[in-house]
A and B are shown apart, each in its own frame.
Chain A
């Protein structure tokens, strides 16, 4: 290589690093603005909080986190194993349907079950942390299910055969070979679940559960004390960082890549009671998490239609749907592009890269309303700075809203893309490098195409998250943008469940389409690789 070429390469690498740093910094800025306030800690507030609500908040958060994590890992992994390794009536359809709870926002599933169980259980019993945990488990287990199923599908029957030949039973082979190999994927799914639980503010309030995230809003909006709220947020970020560290630890140094040839796991046909049991278990989960709530919503929607409550102050279903789709599409593309750039740029870097990645994905560990205020304060400062072209205001613009959504959800895109690019065998990458391809060329010609299915899957997850998002859109939307969740909020904040049914169903319907795309991408990915 000539000196000039080396120099060129170094220059390119430097500008690449600057780009990565710029992205990470801009995305992390609103969160850093919030965290900054911790510089002047408000000790009085802390003492008071500690004497009153904080222990309860920590207890509720811990209980909810542990219960939902246990529930989602158990449910997600066992259902994934059921549909991967066993043949029983309705297996193929069920494999798809079991992902669909992802399409139902927790706050929707929450108010449907709250209202439905109120009479049989009683208003007091229904408002419990356990029911809240159940609702969150039912909406969040698909994260684990998806990751676990993908991991099981990627495994080779050969490993199981080896285990069996060494004297393991089918069950032993599962516990000693299949499950340990799927562990990193399951941990990855569980980490997402953990973040969702920590930052949830819609579902917990329905069930009177006072988590730390709820406490942030309680302190902030009740007293206007931004410092105290920021400090609580930092506590939350601390828990999230701990979760991520735990996930990394679970993953350990293990690195699982796909080898060129692969024989999928053998499917075992269930008969008699076992087949009936499997069918009931799978369909039972689907019924509770999706079918019954959708039926209930449909009944309400019909009631709304009869009493002519199918439009809001801002417009009809079509208008809200278009708003939602427009925002979801733009936000998803933005997250996707930035995610890809980050993954390409950071893939081979060391400690500094890890820090950048952590910075860029900080927003996922922070509750939506806090992100919203962080972005608001940041953008408003920019608007006042005079650096923008005349007449431009970022607060209340599409650009501002998309920025906030990127801050919150870039992590989802990044993780998905990173994990699928990470699965591309190093030997393929090494071959490409040996043949003289540069980093950028390897990424665009080899890694990204091979990881395309995973990238599509990651974008679908971002789209679903954006579609369900409420607090950020509520605070930062431009005039004339009214999404479906805002309609749900307008109705549910007045306990008008009937009026909330139509937009809720619309969210579920769009979510179902996205889930179908997700599964198509995953299936397609499996074919591409083999």
Chain B
């Protein structure tokens, strides 16, 4: 009895596979399976050929936090549907490069300048000619070829405990002062934020000096935490007194607790300004729907600027758009805009510098 039973099980499984395999390939050719319950991700399977339906724009986005309401707003404004897939910047870039002419993606959005620059170098982004974009986005915040555009800026700044630190460092090099030995928190070198910060040091001060600065951080025996939110919490909890982190996480923490005992120190204010990285958008070279793609990027740079930046407490790329109330309350600051378009070029050197210094 048991043998018969078992034979039936195996036979049933084999039959099931054939059915499923058949379904799988059907799904490939006819598409149209329903996506998310609230329509966030697309309504067509990825195997369908790119259609020329001007009503949909397809986005690969490395920036995923709070992105969907923005796309909804765009759809409400323009009638163009957005289908998107989220992922890590470098992997989405690899996918775009591998897909080449077959890509379904019209727009690439990244959370970091270096990754979009590497995509541009790989030749998968389109240079676009749009007065709307060049008018609203300053030249420092877009590539020379106009193949990518920053939409918002994030400052990576020095943060310090308001309870234990009276005289915090005001330069990135100052974080390496022996005064703070054993009391600094940094993000590991695996993270693009660290890599682009060091790239900006190299751009401004040269590789040799940048190496010295990174070495002085390492000599201060930093606590490496792979999460900016946790870095803020570590400063609040007394694990470290001084740290380097992005401002927008403080925006989130302050909405939860207005008394959060950590302050922002704008670094390099007597010189080049605080290191900023950017969230970007670009039209892909092989976009099946270039018109809709450009419409989305233009909308994000104009009508959608406020919402896009505010969603994550970032600074709008368009200087005429006011930053969100909470981040405006941190005061005006000088930003190191000159480095933004070079961050990609210097990222590999930054990684070498970090490795050489033994930065974890």
Give residues in A with beta carbon < 8 Å to B: 48-49, 51-53, 118-119, 122-124, 127, 205-206, 208, 210, 214, 217-218, 220-225, 311-316, 318-319, 329-330, 333-334, 336-337, 340, 369, 372-373, 376-377, 380, 383-384, 389-400, 402, 444-445, 448-450, 452, 455-456, 474-475, 477-482, 486, 490, 493-496, 527-528
Select A452's contact among B6, B41, B189, beta carbons within 8 Å.
B6
Q: Which residues of B contact A316 (CB under 8 A)?
A: 37-38
CA distance A397 to B188 in the complex (A): 35
* Cβ contact within 8 Å between A369 and B99: no
Asked if A456 meets B9 with Cβ closer than 8 Å, knowing A224-B118, A399-B28, A480-B36, the reply is yes
CB distance from B243 to the nearest CB of A (A): 11
Complex contact B13–A333 (CB within 8 A): yes
Task: Output the least CB separation between B18 and chain A (Å).
Answer: 9
B66–chain A nearest beta-carbon distance, Å = 8
Q: List 24 A-B contacts (CB under 8 A).
A: A48-B352, A52-B358, A123-B225, A206-B226, A208-B360, A218-B351, A224-B348, A311-B38, A315-B41, A333-B16, A333-B20, A336-B17, A383-B102, A393-B102, A397-B46, A448-B10, A449-B2, A479-B104, A480-B33, A481-B41, A486-B86, A490-B64, A496-B229, A528-B6
Q: Which residues of B sit under 8 angstroms from A122, Cβ to Cβ?
A: 239
- Which residues of B line the A interface, CB within 8 A? 2-7, 9-10, 13-14, 16-17, 20-21, 24-25, 27-29, 33-38, 40-49, 58, 64-65, 67-68, 83, 85-88, 90-91, 94-95, 98-102, 104, 118, 185, 188-190, 195, 223-230, 234, 237, 239-240, 347-348, 351-352, 355-356, 358, 360
Q: Pick the contact of B355 from A52, A311, A527 — CB < 8 Å?
A: A52
Q: Which 3 A-B pairs have the closest CB atoms?
A: A396-B46, A480-B35, A452-B6
The residue on B at minimum CB distance from A330 is B20
Contact A334 B10 (CB under 8 A): no
Our pick among A223, A334, A449 for the contact of B17 (Cβ within 8 Å) is A334
Contacts known (A383-B99, A391-B48, A479-B83); A452 close to B225, Cβ less than 8 A: no
Q: In the complex, A119 Cα to B234 Cα: how many Å?
A: 10
Given contacts A329-B20, A480-B42, contact A369 B3 (CB under 8 A): no
How far apart sit A51 and B5, CA to CA, in the bound complex (Å)? Answer: 61
CB distance from A9 to the nearest CB of B (A): 23
Q: Who on chain B is nearest to A379 by CB?
A: B98
Taking a contact as CB atoms closer than 8 A, the residue among A214, A334, A475 that contacts B95 in the complex is: A475
A223 pairs with B41, CB closer than 8 A: no
* B33 contact set on A, CB distance < 8 A: 480
| A124-B223 contact in complex given A393-B49, A448-B6, A528-B6, C-beta closer than 8 Å | yes
* Chain B neighbourhood of A217, CB < 8 A: 190
From A49, A373, A456, A480, give the contact of B94 (CB < 8 A): A373
A contact residues around B99 at 8 Å (CB):
380, 383, 395-396
Nearest CB on B from A450, distance (A):
7
Complex contact B10–A482 (CB within 8 A): no
- B355 neighbours in A (Cβ, 8 Å): 48-49, 52-53
- Say yes or no: B29 contacts A448, CB within 8 Å: no
B226 contacts A220, CB within 8 Å? no
Question: Given the complex, which residues of B lie within 8 Å of A394, measured CB to CB?
Answer: 47
A296 to B228, CA, bound (A): 22
Question: Which residues of chain A come closer than 8 Å to B6, judged between CB atoms?
Answer: 448-450, 452, 528
Query: Are A402 and B47 interface neighbours, CB within 8 A?
Result: no
What residues on B are CB-neighbors of A477 within 8 Å?
A: 85
Contact A445 B7 (CB under 8 A): yes
Q: Is the CB of B95 within 8 A of A395?
A: yes
In the complex, which residue of chain A has the Cβ closest to the Cβ of B234? A123
